[in-house]
Chains A and B, each alone.
Chain A
Amino acid sequence: MKLHPEISVTSSRDDDRYRTPSDGSPEIGKRVVSEDDGDDPFEEFDGITTEDATQSVERVEETERLTESLVDANEQLEEAVQTRDMFISVASHELRTPLGAMQLLVELLRREARSSDQGRVPSERILKRLEGIDRQVGRMSKLVDRLLDVSRLSEGRVSLEMGPVDLVGIVETVIERQRDESEDAVISLTNEAGGAVVGRWDADRIDQVVTNLVSNAVKYGGGSPIDVGIADRGECAAFWVRDRGEGIPPGKQERIFERFERGEANHNHSGGLGLGLWIVREIVQAFGGEIDVDSQVGVGSTFHVTLPKE
C-alpha cells in the first residue's frame, strides 16, 4: 500500500493541505517527487507513519509541557497581579486627594483668568492658587517616591551605600528638620553615649528610618513632647522614639509593620499609604538590625531600633 502523494504532502506541510499536485504548483510538485522517490515503498511507508506518530507524540508531549509551564506562569502572574492591584488601588486612592485639590485649583485659576477683565484678578490670589498647586505637586511627588521605594524594597533591589556614619549627627539633623516642618512639635534628644555613635551604614537610609519614626511620633503624638534617645551598646547602636499619643492596642502592634496596613484597615487616621513603618522595618532588616514597639493605649508608643555597627 502506498500513500497518495497528496497525503504525504499534507502530513508534512499543514499549510498545503488543501492543495494537490495537480493544481499546478511547481513547489508542491517538486516536493512530492522528492518524497516519492525512495526505492523501497515500505521503508518510505514506515518512515512516513513513524515520523507522523513520533511527531504526534512529540506534539502531545510538548503541548503538555507548555500547558504545565503556562499554568505555573499563570499562578505566578496572578500573585504578581494581586500585589500590583493592591499597590495600584492604595496608590490611586492616596493620589486622588491631592489631585482633587489640584484640579479644583487649576479650574479656579482658569475661570478667574477668563472672568478677569484684563488683570482684575489680584496677583495675590493667583499666587495663593499656585502655592496650593505647588503643595499638591509636592505631596504627589512624595507619594510616588515612596511607592517606588516600596517597589524596590519588595524586589530586593535596594543598593546600600555603606560607609562610616555617625548616628548622632543624623538624628540631630532629622530633629532640626522636623522642628522646622512642624513648629509646635516639642522634640528632645537624649544621647546616652555622650558622643558620636559610629557604624557602617547607608547614611540616607538611616536618615529615612529616623525621619519616618520621628514624623510618625509627631503625627500620632497628639501634640505632646517627643523623646528621642541614642545609646551605644558595643556591637550595636540603639535609638528610640517615644510619643505620648493614643498608643496602639496590643493586637495591632505587630500589624503596624505590615504593608498597606494603614490604607487597608485604619480609617481613623488620615493621610499616608500605610507604608512608612513597613519601609522602616525593611531598611532596618537590610542592615541586620531589629525594630519593635512598646505601646500602651492612652500612654503612648516607643519604637526601639538596634543596628549592628558592622
Chain B
Amino acid sequence: MSDTWPGVLNQESDLEETVEAVTSRATILVVEDESDLRNTVAEVLQLDGYEVETAGNGREALDILDDGLEPTLILLDVMMPEMDGRAFRRHQLDHPDYADIPVLIFTSSQDADLREFNAVEILRKPIGIDALLDAVESYTGSDPPDWS
C-alpha cells in the first residue's frame, strides 16, 4: 500500500482517473460515537477511495440501513450510547436484508472476541492507517485504485 495520498499528489493530471477509481470502490458504514474518531476514520477511508456513511450509534446505523443504504462493510464500535455495538449486531443479524453485511468490530476493549460478535475481524484502537485500510480492503474485495 502506498504511503502517500494519490488524491493530493498529481491532483490535476490524474483527476479523471482518480474520480473513476474512487467511484468504483465499496461503501463503508462507520458506526462510532466519538465524533473526532468517526470523522477521521471516515476521511481516511474517503481519501482511499471509499464511499463512507457515518452513524453515531447503533440506532442511527439501523436507521441508515432502513433508509436503503447497502454498505459492503460495516465498521462497528462497541461502547456507544443509545444502542451499543452488541445490540446493533443482534438487530442486524435478525434482519434478513442486513444479516449478511460483514462487520469489522472497532473497539478499545481488550476482551471483545470474534465469536461473540460473529464478526469478520476485530480491530483494536488505536490503529494506524495501513492496518485500517488493509482490513477494510480485505473484506470489501476491492483493490485500491491504481494511482501510479
Contacts and interface: CB of A to CB of B under 8 A. Distances in A.
Interface of A: 89, 92-94, 96-105, 107-108, 111-112, 114-117, 120-121, 132, 135-136, 267-271
A270 B80 contact: yes
22 contacts: A96-B125, A101-B36, A102-B126, A103-B128, A104-B128, A108-B40, A108-B47, A108-B129, A111-B5, A111-B129, A112-B5, A114-B4, A114-B5, A115-B8, A115-B9, A116-B9, A117-B10, A267-B78, A268-B81, A270-B33, A271-B33, A271-B34
A99, A107, A270 pick with most chain B CB within 10 angstroms: A270
A104 B33 contact: no
A104 B44 contact: yes
Contacts of B110: 89, 93
B11 interface: yes
Given A111-B3, A115-B4, A120-B8, A99 B129 contact: no
A270 B81 contact: yes
Contact of A107 (B84, B124, B129): B129
Nearest to B84: A267
Contact of B9 (A108, A117, A135): A117
B6 interface: yes
- Range class of the B interface residue count: 35 or more
Interface in B120-144: 124-129, 132
A115 B6 contact: yes
A110 to B, nearest CB: 8
Interface string B6-33: 1111110000000000000000000001
The interface residues of chain A, by DSSP majority, are classed as helix
B127 A100 contact: yes
Contacts of A121: 8
A240 to B, nearest CB: 25
A132 B9 contact: no
Closest CB pairs A-B (n = 4):
A96-B108, A100-B125, A100-B126, A115-B4
Contacts of B41: 104
Contact of B82 (A103, A114, A135, A268): A268
B79 interface: yes
A270 B58 CA distance: 12
Given A97-B34, A108-B40, A115 B84 contact: no
Contacts of B36: 98, 101, 132, 135-136
Interface in B59-92: 78-82, 84, 86
A100 B75 CA distance: 14
Contact of A99 (B6, B82, B84, B125): B125
B37 interface: yes
B84 A96 contact: no
A107 to B, nearest CB: 4
A111 B2 CA distance: 9
Nearest to B123: A100
B81 A100 contact: no
Contacts of B128: 103-104, 107
Nearest to A267: B84
B100 interface: no
B118 interface: no
A236 B128 CA distance: 54
Contacts of B10: 117
A115 B43 CA distance: 16
A264 B11 CA distance: 48
Nearest to B85: A267
